[in-house]
Amino acid sequence: MRYLMMMLSFWSISAVAQSQKSAVWPAGKKMALSLTFDDGRGSQVQAGMKLLNQYGAKATFYVMPNAIEKTASLWRELVKSGHEIGNHTSLHPCSGNFAWSRTKALEEYSLEKMAMELWESNRQISEMLGVVPESFAYPCGQTFVGNNEKTQSYVPLVYRQFSSGRGWRDEAPNDPAYLNMAQLTGMEMDGKEFEDILPLIQDAAKQGYWLILAGHEMGTGGNQTTRLAMLEKLIQYAQKPENGIWLAPVKDVTHYLKAK
């Protein structure tokens, strides 16, 4: 009898927990899904924007000022289409273990230098596009400055200046019960087929999670490229009401969760 009561209690708690998760999202949705793209690459405002606008799907683009300067008019068009502009630093500093980053290695950064770069990047983006980024993506998904005993996290800087910070190549979606807004997980969608992404979406819907997908180029193939054919299938799936997916930019989901 005692065992039976324990099992009934467990099932009751599980049912309540699942009910609470399903109640997190608006209009009875099962999950949130955000499409994000890094670096401010040209293919994003050319082929990518066209596909997204065709379906009325809104995404978040984490840009660097020097990457968008020559095509600023297209980026302003992207903003007018309702997409979000986020900050991805000015220089894309990563560990000096990457040969291409040795002139901007995080090991040689200080918190003060990073704070200035984040502020300056926001200033330049605002001047070019007329919007002040409030979402951030960590270059290379790395969140430190300094080296050895002088290593420090710059997550607190991001927390103070932005409404969210997103990682890269993480292994799980975001559980609303354990959110760290300054360290949201981002799962890679570059080089994937829709069949590779679908299990992630289905699992997130089952758990009531927020899945943030991260990509770079938007095209048909190549290094660090989110395939447009995959993206079209993904958007079509996400927009079917029976799948219960809230497809929204990072900023929208962040504001919603903070209000909750």
Domain ranges of the chain: 38-259
> Residue 176's closest CA among 212, 142, 140, 143?
212
Longest dimension (CA), the chain: 73
Mean pLDDT score across all residues of the chain: 93
CA 153 to chain centre: 19
Burial class for 234, CB neighbours closer than 10 Å (0-12, 13-18, 19+): buried
Q: Is the pLDDT of residue 8 over 90?
A: no
Of residues 123 and 18, the one with the higher pLDDT is 123
0.75 surpassed by pTM: yes
The pLDDT value recorded for residue 260 is 82
Read off the pLDDT of each residue in 68-85 and give the average, rounded to a whole number.
Answer: 98
> What is the Cα–Cα distance from 165 to 98, expressed in whole angstroms?
22
Q: Is the pLDDT of residue 4 over 60?
A: no
If pLDDT is split at 50, 70 and 90, which confidence band does 212 have?
A: very high
If pLDDT is split at 50, 70 and 90, which confidence band does 9 have?
A: very low
Q: How many CA atoms lie within 13 A of 120 on its CB side?
A: 10
Read off the pLDDT of each residue in 153-175 and give the average, rounded to a whole number.
Answer: 98
Q: Is the pLDDT of residue 84 over 80?
A: yes
* pLDDT tens by residue, 108-155: 999 999 999 999 999 999 999 999 999 999 999 999 999 999 999 999
Burial readout 112-129 (b: 16 or more C-beta within 10 A, e: otherwise) = eebbebbeebbebbeebb
> What is the Cα–Cα distance from 248 to 238, expressed in whole angstroms?
10
Q: Is the pLDDT of residue 233 over 50?
A: yes
The pLDDT value recorded for residue 23 is 59
Tell me how many degrees the CA angle 137-82-68 measures, rounded to the nearest 5: 50
Which CATH code is given to the segment(s) 38-259? 3.20.20.370
Q: Is the pLDDT of residue 12 over 50?
A: no
If pLDDT is split at 50, 70 and 90, which confidence band does 21 have?
A: low
